[in-house]
Amino acid sequence: MSTTWHVLGAGSLGTLWAARLARAGLPVRLVLRNEQRLQDYLAAGGLTLVEQGQAQCYPVPGETVHNPEPIKRLLLACKAYDAQAAVASVAHRLDSDSELILLQNGLGSQDAVANCVPRARCISASSTEGAFRDGDWRVVFAGHGYTWLGDPAHPVAPIWLDDLAAAGIPHEWSADILTRLWRKLALNCAINPLTVLHHCKNGELQAHRCEVATLCAELIELLERCGQPAAAEDLQTEVERVIQATAANYSSMYQDVANQRRTEISYLLGHACAVAERHGVAVPHLEQMRQRLITHLDNLGLPSD
């Protein structure tokens, strides 16, 4: 009998994973923050996955964080700024046999979560899959991608990767997940804030090549100085490739701002600038962009932390 997947965070990626695991016949449960959310979910009858225009509903069981049943495998799929509070809400259900898969953007939240539950195993994940919600308990699978998983403390791959294969979730166990996380953070820092400040799609950044190149140069120096040379390799080329490949898309940060949602600035630009300061690396353009973004968010009445 497979271990049950508990999914905490009913956003686009959490819903996408839960629906595909359920479709493969694997035991999965959606963990919701309170009784009202649970009742709303039960009224909807399950999670709806929209793929290539076809919608299919999966009646994934739901429960609240207060359920006393132990959790052995938890997919934490909330935003980075909610991760610590989210895991604290189910800490009473976790023990030394529990495994957490952390599906957060940026860096910083992973350590905060691990400190909350020191006995549990925390596995970091970095995904390039694209999905968005077009309604409550509905997710549209917008772009096939890949998910890298790894655990710097315990490099041996877990046996449940077979579940991901069965669910059709393309993945790879990475012996150096921190390099993956830093690489993605650098890509996000070079693209996402600029799309917000220039109010544009990713492809329109091709008109701001000099600005992109300046940010990439600072990010490369930062990565090399903080012991991540592999993440720095050909960074500008990769940034330009991503801008071109996703030209018609709006970045996740742009979408957050457009939908009046809190951004993950502290775990992207904020983390990069804080690490630069610790290592004595001058990143004036990154810092200036962070300040511009904070001012922009403040003007919109959105949180800037």
By annotation, the residues acting in catalysis are 184
Tally DSSP H helices, then E strands, for the chain. Answer: 12, 12
> Which two structure tokens, joined as six digits, stand for 285?
């353009």
Q: Are 78 and 11 a contacting pair, CB within 8 Å? A: yes
Candidates 153, 68, 141; CA nearest to 110 is 153
In this structure, the number of other CB atoms found within 10 A of the CB of residue 162 comes to 11
Return the SS3 of 83.
helix
Parallel, antiparallel or unpaired: strands 47-51 and 62-64? unpaired
> Which two structure tokens, joined as six digits, stand for 3?
């271990």
What does the alpha-carbon distance between residue 158 and residue 125 come to, in Å, rounded to a whole number?
Answer: 13
Q: How far is CA 129 from CA 142, 144, 303, in A?
A: 8, 5, 26
Query: Where are the extended beta strands (E) located within 207-254?
Result: none
> Which two structure tokens, joined as six digits, stand for 248?
């018609």
What does the alpha-carbon distance between residue 71 and residue 129 come to, in Å, rounded to a whole number?
Answer: 26
